[in-house]
A = this chain, B = another copy of it.
Amino acid sequence: MAQKPSIPKGTRDFSPEEVAKRTYIMNTIRTQFQRFGFQPIETPSFENSDTLMGKYGEEGDRLIFKILNSGEFLKKFNENLIKSIKTSLSNLRVTLDNTSEGNFSFEDFASNFKKEFPNILRAHKEIKFDENLIDLDELTNDIWLRIRGIIIHNDNLYDMLLAKDNTSLSLLSNIIYGDFYFQMGSKYVGNYISEKALRYDLTVPFARYVVQHQNDIVFPFKRFQIQPVWRADRPQKGRFREFYQCDADVVGSDSLWQEVEFVQLYDAVFTALKLDGVTIKMNNRKILSGIAEVIGASDKLIDFTVALDKLDKIGEEGVTKEMLEKGITQEAINKVAPLFTLSGSFGEQLGTLKELLSSSETGKEGIDEMLFINDAIENLGLKTAQLQLDVTLARGLNYYTGAIFEVSAPDGVQMGSIGGGGRYADLTGIFGLKDVSGVGISFGLDRIYLVLEDLGLFPEEATEGVKVFFVNFGDSEAGYAMKAIAQLRAQGISSELYPDAVTSNKQMKKQMTYANRRNIPFLVLAGTEEMNAGTFTLKDMEAGTQETLSLKELVEKVG
């Protein structure tokens, strides 16, 4: 291989320093998760395709990485396809036989064929398409299109078919088969040659886990999960095809104390990361539903929140204009005008909302929930974060049913949300376990990394490497050094010997450069003189000082 090796676009190598910093973030979060009583689980990197497909919408399905089956992955599909084509041609031939000259209609045949053929395939013992992987109605339709197209454009083939010659039938099958592959291959083959797919998020695998292990789980189940996920997104700045997600969820209880706890958890994690001043924004799906009721246009809810979210930027007039453009009536806008000037504390804002949504039962329910959470948090206090009501917060409208969370970085840091979550009334219904409510939050690791880097918040200890470096003066000295190194390591002090012996000044410089580039703070020189005296010469690289010590003193000094 001549060219320099590379990695797939959208993926990353992590250097020692990057791994250390990432580990620091993950460990900090993990510690808080555990203090809050969350338990870790891990799920496989790939799931059965049917576990994932159809759970993230059409766009999501397209972005799922599929794993190719091993071995002769096309064989069974191809054999079944050939058989089904032959079957359909026989079928056509029988129809032609039974039709008096000139009376055959492709259209009549087609509609019969499409109705009957899937059942014929199912009944045909030799054909074993897995209907989980292939839609037989769709396949029938496509096979018919291919047959029709080829026969219409080749009179000879129509004659061949009428001639009832089996060799010709086989030949015709092969032509149709080839054409089918050429025209439709990817569409069918994709489903059929891949039965596994890489995890797209942690939520669906978690739901699968809960259902699969429901008998072993003690509910309410508080779990956390920190694992990579994969998405075939177009790579761009800050968006990767492999990235870690970091989720905490509770399933099995409706209690609002959990929402309270998640606010505290966000506060605890960001405080532990020394990232003071994050804003935990909250909204409630029921409040949004209430607004939709009041404006009399549930289908306009997203347009409404998107416009309202721009209040800071384009002012009341601009927002009104955008809403009108989106088809929200002036009357509706008047009704919710107080939203434009919503101000004051969380509680005061809720007061305004209560009046505004007085006609909506759902809206009032949402307000009561938020009141409970806000009261509890006021009572308990937050360390460094602020809790804020944000009625424009509208993430996950398709699945969140109650509280909605989003965390933004401290003022002055240009970064999208660094965390988010919400409550969903039905997590596990997709896998057949009904009525399991859940609520959860996640942390945006890559963005948190960038924010900490930006603000210089990674503690020095997080990236500390080797502490003590021993110059190698030759085998005998190295043996002496290795004894000291063993002592240091036993005391938990990371230390190492340069593997090759100094044989020249150039070599000495090489070892120094090595220690320097690795930012090792202490350097030990132990040559013949030190060996004879049973001492070690310690250089403090930062202070620039040097002293001669016994082993005991050395361990104490650098420890």
Contacts and interface: CB of A to CB of B under 8 A. Distances in A.
A238 to B, nearest CB: 17
A496 B8 contact: no
A139 to B, nearest CB: 16
A284 interface: no
Nearest to A480: B379
Contact of A36 (B167, B193, B496): B496
Interface centre among A5, A7, A250, A258 (most CB of B within 10 A): A5
A281 B223 CA distance: 42
Nearest to A19: B40
Given A68-B66, A68-B190, A432 B4 contact: yes
A247 B278 CA distance: 39
A544 interface: no
Nearest to A225: B19
A404 to B, nearest CB: 19
Interface string A232-243: 100000000010
A492 B35 contact: yes
B499 A43 contact: no
A16 B35 contact: no
Contacts of A478: 257
A230 B67 CA distance: 11
B186 A182 contact: no
**What is the total number of copies of this protein in its complex?**
2
A489 B13 contact: no
Bin chain A's interface residue count: 35 or more
Interface string A509-546: 00001100110000000000000000000000000000
Contacts of A185: 74-75, 78
B175 A242 contact: no
A558 interface: no
Contacts of A296: none
Nearest to A211: B5
Interface stretch (A47-55, A312-320, A330-338, A393-401): A47-55
A481 to B, nearest CB: 9
A62 interface: yes
A212 B70 CA distance: 30
Interface in A336-351: none
B44 A12 contact: yes
A551 to B, nearest CB: 14
A489 B432 contact: no
A549 interface: no
Contact of A50 (B1, B216, B258): B1
Given A68-B68, A482-B260, A11 B46 contact: yes
A104 interface: no
A413 interface: no
Given A19-B40, A257-B478, 11 more contacts: A1-B50, A7-B47, A19-B39, A23-B40, A35-B492, A36-B489, A45-B45, A62-B71, A74-B189, A174-B178, A257-B472
